[in-house]
Chains A and B, each alone.
Chain A
Amino acid sequence: MRHIISILMENEAGALSRVAGLFSARGYNIESLTVAPTEDESLSRMTLVTNGTDEVIEQITKQLNKLIDVVKLMDMHEGPHIEREMMLIKVRAMGPAREEVKRLSDIFRGRIIDVTETMFTIEVTGTSSKLDAFVEAIAEADIIEVVRSGVTGIARGEKALRV
């Protein structure tokens, strides 16, 4: 099963490679990984999407917790949560396709953020599956480039991942 794991870690050089190294050494999957500093500059927050059986996920969280740089982590699937990913997608849009791409983008609440005579660059935000659906829907058009931010997530309500 797919899990989103959020990790607060010391904002130290090499912290990212400890996580990446752990995953490759132990043969765990990484679907996506994003990391950036938080409001507390001594901390980075990493969001990692992985998949595996319950046993594997349990090992992953235990092994992550064992890393000295990891301060705290949360498996988002322990409770209700919000997941977001952003995608920038550049498509060739000429002639009648131009209108079609615009329409599709509207349906997915995308925003066209750059326009040339031949190209649209569209920004779409949502869950990973929504972004997948958009890529699929627009496949008819000529996709030039796709950039995805990787998934970020946050727990709903009072629950929070903080020190």
Chain B
Amino acid sequence: MCPNMRAFFLVFCVAGTREIKQVELTGADIFVRCLAEQGVEHLFGYPGGAVLPIYDALYQQDKVQHVLVRHEQAATHAADGYARSTGKPGVVLVTSGPGATNAVTGIATAYMDSIPLVVFTGQVPTALIGNDAFQEVDSVGITRPCVKHNFLVKDVKDLATTIKKAFYVATTGRPGPVVVDIPKDVSVARAEYHYPKRITMRSYNPVSKGHPRQIKKAVDLMLTAKRPIIYTGGGVILSNASRALTELTRLLEFPITNTLMGLGAYPATDRQFLGMLGMHGTYEANMGMHNCDVLIAIGARFDDRVTGNVEKFCPTAKIIHVDIDPASISKNVKVDVPIVGPVDQVLKEMIKVFKESEAKPDAAALKAWWKQIEEWRGMDCLKYDRDSERIKPQHVLETLYKVTKGDAFVTSDVGQHQMWAAQFYKFDKPNRWINSGGLGTMGFGLPAAMGVQFAHPGEQVACVTGEGSIQMCIQELSTCRQYGLPLKIINLNNGYLGMVRQWQQFFYDGRYAMSYMESLPDFVKLAEAYGHVGMQITRPEDVEPALKKAFKMKDKLVFMDFLTDPAENVYPMIPAGAGQNEMILV
């Protein structure tokens, strides 16, 4: 049956001699039509009672592909991975009650990293709201602190407009997740269908341009700099401003460092790139920050993992801060030249102002600054024992970089492996490094990788994980099987919750409380049980051949269980509360 046939329901109202023809659709059909019109290709979700009418409508169309996950948390992470790798909003559909609460972790993950998601939650019928009905939770209330905005649709007449608003809010300004709660009776009720092309909201007008005078002021300050550094975050990637950032940085010949969220915004293999900064950032990046006289912060939010002790942060610097969100400016660190605006537009304007300006950066001062930076770089702070008889996790990541020619999409979970991936996989392009930076959500990696693979079917997608994190969403191996997702899972298995163990070693006198992972499954058999390929790699010399072999299997998910050195730590490290110049080196 043609999907649209059923969707069109004609109501004939006969009033006297007049006949009024009106096209009415059910809320569920309106929902599906809106998504199609919005250009949504993938909808990650899980059915349940309150969304049955919507699933019924989905069943009868072929425009929006529904991806069935195995847990609602994975639906949100998959949509998140999809969004991070494409710049398009990720879309989720879950049922009421536990469906919504399971999705919360993924919503909060997206919120902390400003990722555009639109999450539809089913709700009990409006008449039952507040009655403690079966599978009822106050989804709007529960998600309120971790969404950019949320809506409860009480009338089917408002459904299409609300969906439009949700996409508009999620994707503009500083992006973020938006939840739309749809009671079951709203999905069943009928209304005229009209999806607005454009929408305006009097209470929401994100800035579209940075202030020209502030931009001029910033460029002037940059030109006086003797020890400048550019520090950029996820905002550059979200604003699609990588090209402009690269151009400006090269014009100025300033050193640049990226946050964990900002990796890939500037080519990591470039000489001007100092690596990641922050708690596990490089020596040269952190020392550069600490000693700079002009700090150019772009689309970054002075997170505590970046600043360390704010009292000791960049003590000699004048600070320029470009951000779309006024609330990010002077939140943690007071800045001298604030610029509120879209990063891409502001950077382009800076390039223009710079090119028009007569002045040039102070070449002599920059030369001396670079000399100092090269000295710091010479410390080789990421060195590790390359002759070890055990597999070093760093070696696995370096080899992954080599085997994938630096061109894979890499998702990660949270912990040591995440830091090593950030340090050792050199991202030359944006949207390739997909990780939960703000919330630090274990279990993110595998479902996020699924979302990435759906968005980029032919590409290499690797999930770097650990034996702790992978078990938090391991059930998604089943989803991967169902949809034939040829992910490559790099499990850095050291038998410990490595980052917890590292902190216990450093700060709790080696009392390893609950950081030891006992009773691990046989990951090879587990992968096989799900219909995938499993490998276990125990010797350093087998790392490269195994990775090569795995990436040659283009249509298979390969789960690589690397048994790595349990004693390895992530260096350098700025202990919590210390200054950026107070790093623990190897």
Interface residues of A (CB under 8 A from B): 9-10, 13-14, 17-18, 21, 25, 55, 58-59, 62-63, 65-66, 68-71, 163
Contacts and interface: CB of A to CB of B under 8 A. Distances in A.
Interface stretch (B138-146, B366-374, B441-449): B138-146
A63 B327 CA distance: 6
Given A68-B169, A70-B203, 4 more contacts: A59-B327, A65-B327, A68-B201, A71-B203
Nearest to B149: A68
Contacts of A18: 144
Contacts of A13: 152
A14 B181 CA distance: 13
The 8 A-B residue pairs with the shortest CB-CB distance in the complex, in nearest-first order? A62-B327, A68-B149, A71-B203, A68-B204, A62-B326, A25-B145, A66-B327, A63-B327
A21 B152 contact: no
23 contacts: A10-B203, A14-B140, A14-B144, A17-B141, A25-B145, A58-B330, A59-B327, A62-B326, A62-B327, A65-B326, A66-B325, A66-B326, A66-B327, A68-B148, A68-B149, A68-B169, A68-B201, A68-B203, A68-B204, A70-B203, A71-B202, A71-B203, A163-B202
A9 B327 contact: no
A69 B330 contact: no
B145 A21 contact: yes
Nearest to B201: A68
B331 to A, nearest CB: 6
A10 B203 CA distance: 8
Contacts of B325: 66
Interface in B324-347: 325-327, 330-331, 334
A59 B331 contact: yes
Given A59-B331, A62-B327, A14 B152 contact: yes
- Greatest chain A CB density within 10 A among B145, B148, B334 is at B145
Nearest to B146: A25
A22 to B, nearest CB: 8
A65 B325 CA distance: 10
A63 B174 CA distance: 13
Contacts of B204: 68
Contacts of A63: 327
A14 B141 CA distance: 8
Nearest to A63: B327
A144 B27 CA distance: 54
B304 to A, nearest CB: 15
Given A10-B203, A59-B331, A21 B326 contact: no
Nearest to B154: A13
A76 B169 CA distance: 29
B268 to A, nearest CB: 32
B482 to A, nearest CB: 37
B203 A69 contact: yes
Contacts of A21: 144-145
Given A68-B149, A68-B204, A55 B144 contact: no
